[in-house]
Amino acid sequence: MAILDCAIIGGGPAGLTAGLYTTRGGLANVVMFEKGMPGGQITNSSEIENYPGVTGDISGMDLMMPWPEQCKKFGLVHEMIAITKVTKDGDLFTIHKENGDTSQAHSVIIGTGSSPRRAGFDGEKEFIGKGISTCATCDGFFYKGKEVVVIGGGDTALEEALYLAKICSKVYLVHRRDKFRSAPNTVKRVQETQNIEIILNSKPKEVYGDNMGVTGIKIIDNNDIIRDIKVPGVFTFVGNDVNNQTLIQDDGSFLCDVDEAGSVVVDLSMKTSVDGLYAVGDMRIQSPKQVVSAAGDGAVAALQAIHYVDKKLN
């Protein structure tokens, strides 16, 4: 099989933009390996209002829908498969696939993003998918007209609490500190929403239920006072972990430098510590974790990859 000019791992905003710029910029043989449908984690968002030029009331899914089509037009190939590992032998990268196959590439742009973190309370593991959810767009409708609890104090928790407040009769927003991490404008909207009750300085202790699913949650405050809230649904939005597993080598080391949180160390050109390997979007150090910055990273890395491959082959 022909050696790829560039292998892109991950088809979120970062990977898709890298795909657009590499193909449109002249690299002939580019494959984007994405384990699911392209679009990335923003497709779980009910509303996006900070992508430049987008003024309407649109969901993350609406925003991302045209991106793969645009890339395809310039020759980007999407292979729907999970990548298990990326290695480098000499000056060629090997992309190891879930089914045991491999592909070789001159350059790699990795943008595998991040995944929802577990909050770590009793019953979380047992009831995930049975009343505990990390996606309001996906599961909010199941709780139409009912009360739900949202855990977290960042942008995701507050935005999704606002979304759920439109569907559910009441939303309890539980945050472990007395200050939210979210944008001030979002905090204001939450405070002004009648059917959101804000519960500060409190964290989940236990989610309980029966074989039909969740029936309630016990939360505990800073004075160890426990409050029992009877709800059929609990949404946790407590941050994300970097998806860096494909960079782990057989001896447990990382293919390139990562920081203590596992984010990939890059320079302003998205170059990692390994020649020909670029990291983009949420998984790189100091990422603002925004669609617009992920897309920007993808463009920057693609232009660097084009230059790198050109220099290598010509």
Nearest distance, CB of residue 111 and ligand FAD, angstroms: 5
Nearest distance, CB of residue 50 and ligand NAP, angstroms: 5
Q: Would you say 272 or 293 has its CB closer to ligand NAP?
A: 293
Instruction: Find which of ligand FAD, ligand NAP, none residue 246 binds, CB within 5 to 8 Å per kind.
Output: ligand FAD
Angle, alpha carbons 119-173-128 (nearest 5°): 35
- Integer Cα distance of 198 and 241 in angstroms: 26
End-to-end CA separation in angstroms for the chain: 21
Nearest distance, CB of residue 213 and ligand FAD, angstroms: 22
Q: Would you say 133 or 202 has its CB closer to ligand FAD?
A: 133
Which residues sit at the interface with ligand NAP, rule CB under 6 A? Answer: 50, 119-120, 151-157, 159, 176-177, 181, 203, 237-240, 289-290
Instruction: Show which residues are catalytic.
Output: 135, 138-139
- Integer Cα distance of 95 and 242 in angstroms: 19
Nearest distance, CB of residue 108 and ligand FAD, angstroms: 12
Q: What's the one-letter identity of residue 254?
A: F
Nearest distance, CB of residue 62 and ligand FAD, angstroms: 12
Instruction: Find which of ligand NAP, ligand FAD, none residue 140 binds, CB within 5 to 8 Å per kind.
Output: none
Instruction: Find which of ligand FAD, ligand NAP, none residue 153 binds, CB within 5 to 8 Å per kind.
Output: ligand NAP
Q: Would you say 131 or 152 has its CB closer to ligand FAD?
A: 152
Which residues sit at the interface with ligand FAD, rule CB under 6 A? Answer: 9-15, 33-36, 40-42, 44-45, 48, 50, 82-83, 111-114, 156, 243, 246, 281-282, 289-292, 294
Instruction: Find which of ligand NAP, ligand FAD, none residue 154 binds, CB within 5 to 8 Å per kind.
Output: ligand NAP
- Would you list the DSSP string of the chain? -PPEEEEEE--SHHHHHHHHHHHHTT-S-EEEEESSSTT-GGGG-S-B--STT--S-B-HHHHHTHHHHHHHHTTPEEEE--EEEEEEETTEEEEEETTS-EEEEEEEEE---EEEPP---BTHHHHBTTTEES-HHHHGGGGTTSEEEEE--SHHHHHHHHHHHHHSSEEEEE-SSSS--S-HHHHHHHHT-TTEEEE-SEEEEEEEEETTEEEEEEEEETT--EEEE--SEEEE---EEE--GGGB-TTS-BSS-B-TTSPBP--TT-B-SSTTEEE-GGGBTT----HHHHHHHHHHHHHHHHHHHHHHH-
Q: Would you say 39 or 131 has its CB closer to ligand FAD?
A: 39
Q: Would you say 104 or 290 has its CB closer to ligand NAP?
A: 290
Q: Would you say 53 or 90 has its CB closer to ligand NAP?
A: 53
Instruction: Find which of ligand NAP, ligand FAD, none residue 238 binds, CB within 5 to 8 Å per kind.
Output: ligand NAP
Nearest distance, CB of residue 80 and ligand NAP, angstroms: 26
Instruction: Find which of ligand FAD, ligand NAP, none residue 5 binds, CB within 5 to 8 Å per kind.
Output: none
